[in-house]
Structure 1
Amino acid sequence: MLPDSMSLSVVPVPMLLLDDEARVLGCNIPAQEALGKSERRLIGLHISDLFSPKVEIENLFARLTPYSGVSDHQICILATGMPVSLHLGCHDEGISALFIPEAARAEVEQHAKRHEMAESVARIALEMAHEVKNPLAALRGAAQWLSEQKDIPTSNREAVAQMLLGVDRIRDRIDAFLQVGPRAQVAMEMTNIHALIQDVIVYQKGIQVHRVFDPSLPETLVHPARLRQALENLWQNAVEAADSSIEWQTRMAPLVHLPGHSGQVMEIRITNDGRMVPQELRERLFDPYVTGKSRGSGLGLALVERVMVEHGGRVSVRSENGRTTMTLHLPIKQLEQE
């Protein structure tokens, strides 16, 4: 539901407010720029005077019910032919019509590609579990048996000790990689996101931590242990990069649509004021073994990506003007939606 005090001017994407007959009551500046018309010229026009094809728009309105939202990605601006995604929402104040130009859909497509990558990595990880861990366990058992023999020469005992260390390092590496692998079905729990964030914060000397939490944010159905892993990785990255400040922020994200989810979405952000993410890494930052740090496995953000896939959400990064922000979008789900 749109708040009564909501102003169209604060909405960062093109938005129209329509009456019950789908005629324009008002609009924001981005909508005027995208449609090439002033608000005065737009008011009173029917939405089919602005977008096509008409049959798609009629189908959208036929599916729209009170306090719901519907979307169509096959719409064009009538005057220019520019493809857009059109999202309709029915509220007390009228019907909201948000439209996202084709250029802004590149980010959504990038998220979809990253999700495909995460699924591919998951399959590889599962194969590794069968192909590597079993013989590795046998190798460690044999090395452990050798180390326990009393008549083994000292030089050989040192070699066996090094062998055990090497095997353990390989095992730890595989275990870390398997964190981005597929997970068995686990019971989801109603969880307070703010409590989860607070749990992962470990105060660091010289770094101020700010929290800007939306108190209206409801509990949501998640796997708390897995989500905590993701939040811990984001926190650790921020601590390693920050100069003096880290900020956590939560809020509702009414303009965000997640594929396969028709309900509300929450947004979790963590921002630090430290070094920027190199431009050449930003598109691949969530791929396994990609890192901008001199030391690090490159698996932390791949795990975050995997956890978001498991929850039907997504993660994105913005690094500019001396600040780097990691943003999670999570679907808000209740027990009856399980």
Structure 2
Amino acid sequence: MAFGKGLVAAARRFQSFDLLATLIAIIREDGTLIFANSALEDALGHSRRTLAGAAFSSCFVDASVLLNAIQGARANDFATLRYEAFLRRSSSTEPLPVQVTLAQTDTRGELVLEMTPQEQQARQDREERLLDQAQANKELIRNLAHEIKNPLGGIRGAAQLLQMEVESRDLIEYTQVIIHEADRLQTLVDRLLAPHRRPHVVGDVNIHEVCERVRAVLMAEFPNGLEIERDFDPSIPEFRGDREQLIQATLNIAHNAALALAERRLEGDAKIIFRTRVVRHVILNKQWWRLALELHVIDNGPGVPEAIQDRLFYPLVSGREGGTGLGLTLAQTFVQQHHGVIECDSEPGRTNFKITLPLP
């Protein structure tokens, strides 16, 4: 009975840790576990009731690392210690690699362990790089577009005046080329500035309606040789967002996929999959969310060229001849305006663009 009361008391004291996506354990200086948060329960495959009172070092592949760390904490050799370790999981023979942070708490004789799966840490680092890159791209695009736009109007106006003065048909053709190219550049500049000019119109969004709209557009443009499969999770709720921006972001990704499937469309076996799922306890752009949705756009094309995979979301980078290299940059901008991220995993025969958006 006393043990059960101790568990209840610990759960009350540390209940806020259940809101964290990282794995948290509170242990005594002798290494016995006092509390495990929900994320740690899920990772280990054991309930906190089962784990409480046992030596937490047994949950690691190499127990000595934790025991040595505890010994250092007892001797006050450090206030905080960070190291890498492997957790045993009941649901898998493969251990879980984690980064462990061991620190003393305000209560004497207690230590707190924060364990971040290395995959999650790598993802956070990658998202941080993407966020910094997107911000730099935004500033670069805005400044470059304005620098191009100002002299462009003068070039076009001068060409028009020159065309009115010349009588030679050949010379008029040259001035028309100048005007046409100036107009083409103006269109490109307008596309670069579009996401920064257009207001963010927020309303209720159903992600499956977004997918259906994109699917209808693709089927109208590519009626033959392309199959579009729906793999939807009907439990995903509506959320607040800009419907048109999300349609455009998804369309840019899916349209690129359809163009990359040109050879498979001729063979009649081109395929794009729209897959939606709910994920729990995710960190997006340094912010924790209890729920998020994942929209996967998967195709069976040749894959993204390896040479541009690291620069895929940079402006004016394209793996397709004749491409502007703006589609994915704009998609990333629109998704980040919804506090989400886009990731790409590509190999020959399968490319998966994953859009992750937070849910309320």
Amino acid in the other structure paired with 2:277? R
- 3-state SS of paired residue (1:138): helix
- 3-state SS of paired residue (1:216): coil
Q: Distance in 1 between matches of 2:135 and 2:299?
A: 29
CA gap 1:85/1:223 in 2 versus in 1, 3 angstroms = farther
* Alpha-carbon shift at residue 173 of structure 1 (Å): 2.5
* Alpha-carbon shift at residue 211 of structure 1 (Å): 0.5
Question: 1:225 matched to which residue of 2?
Answer: 244
TM-score by length of 2: 0.66
Question: 1:257 matched to which residue of 2?
Answer: 283
Question: 2:35 matched to which residue of 1?
Answer: 22
* Alpha-carbon shift at residue 291 of structure 1 (Å): 2.5
* Alpha-carbon shift at residue 221 of structure 1 (Å): 1.3
Correspondent of 1:128 among 130, 144, 162: 144
Conservation of the 8 A alpha-carbon contact between 1:191 and 1:220? yes
CA gap 1:106/1:15 in 2 versus in 1, 3 angstroms = closer
Q: Distance in 2 between matches of 1:304 and 1:98?
A: 35
Amino acid in the other structure paired with 1:225? E
Question: 1:169 matched to which residue of 2?
Answer: 184
Q: Distance in 2 between matches of 1:275 and 1:320?
A: 7
- Which blocks of at least 5 consecutive residues in structure 1 are unaligned? 1-12, 33-38, 55-73, 87-96, 334-338
Conservation of the 8 A alpha-carbon contact between 2:85 and 2:99? no
Q: Which has the higher helix share?
A: 2
Question: 1:113 matched to which residue of 2?
Answer: 129
Conservation of the 8 A alpha-carbon contact between 2:253 and 2:328? yes
* Alpha-carbon shift at residue 260 of structure 1 (Å): 2.9
Correspondent of 1:213 among 207, 227, 232: 232
Q: Map residues 187-336 of structure 1 onto 2, 5 A cutoff.
A: 187-201=201-215, 202-203=218-219, 204=222, 205-242=224-261, 243=264, 244-258=270-284, 259-320=286-347, 322-333=349-360
Q: CA RMSD in A?
A: 3.9
Identical-residue share of aligned pairs (%):
26
- Which blocks of at least 5 consecutive residues in structure 2 are unaligned? 1-20, 27-33, 60-65, 71-80, 88-96, 103-112, 265-269
Q: Distance in 2 between matches of 1:110 and 1:27?
A: 26
Question: 1:67 matched to which residue of 2?
Answer: none
- 3-state SS of paired residue (1:172): helix
* Alpha-carbon shift at residue 227 of structure 1 (Å): 1.6
Conservation of the 8 A alpha-carbon contact between 1:14 and 1:31? no
* Alpha-carbon shift at residue 267 of structure 1 (Å): 0.7
- 3-state SS of paired residue (1:292): coil
* Alpha-carbon shift at residue 98 of structure 1 (Å): 10
* Alpha-carbon shift at residue 23 of structure 1 (Å): 5.1
CA gap 1:321/1:16 in 2 versus in 1, 3 angstroms = farther
Conservation of the 8 A alpha-carbon contact between 2:99 and 2:115? no
* Alpha-carbon shift at residue 177 of structure 1 (Å): 3.0
* Alpha-carbon shift at residue 273 of structure 1 (Å): 0.8
Q: Distance in 1 between matches of 2:152 and 2:304?
A: 36
Conservation of the 8 A alpha-carbon contact between 1:23 and 1:43? no
Q: What are the Cα deviations for residues 264-311 of structure 1, in whole angstroms up to 9, with x where unaligned? A: 211101101110223333222112222222331222112222122211
CA gap 1:223/1:157 in 2 versus in 1, 3 angstroms = same
Does 268-277 or 250-259 show the bigger shift?
Answer: 250-259
Q: Distance in 2 between matches of 1:165 and 1:99?
A: 59
TM-score by length of 1: 0.70
Q: Distance in 2 between matches of 1:298 and 1:177?
A: 11
The higher radius of gyration belongs to 2
Conservation of the 8 A alpha-carbon contact between 1:49 and 1:78? no
Conservation of the 8 A alpha-carbon contact between 1:123 and 1:182? no
Conservation of the 8 A alpha-carbon contact between 1:16 and 1:27? no
Conservation of the 8 A alpha-carbon contact between 1:257 and 1:265? no
Question: 2:171 matched to which residue of 1?
Answer: 156
Q: Distance in 1 between matches of 2:138 and 2:36?
A: 48
Question: 2:267 matched to which residue of 1?
Answer: none
Q: What are the Cα deviations for residues 229-273 of structure 1, in whole angstroms up to 9, with x where unaligned? A: 211111111102233111101121114322335342111011011
CA gap 1:157/1:274 in 2 versus in 1, 3 angstroms = same
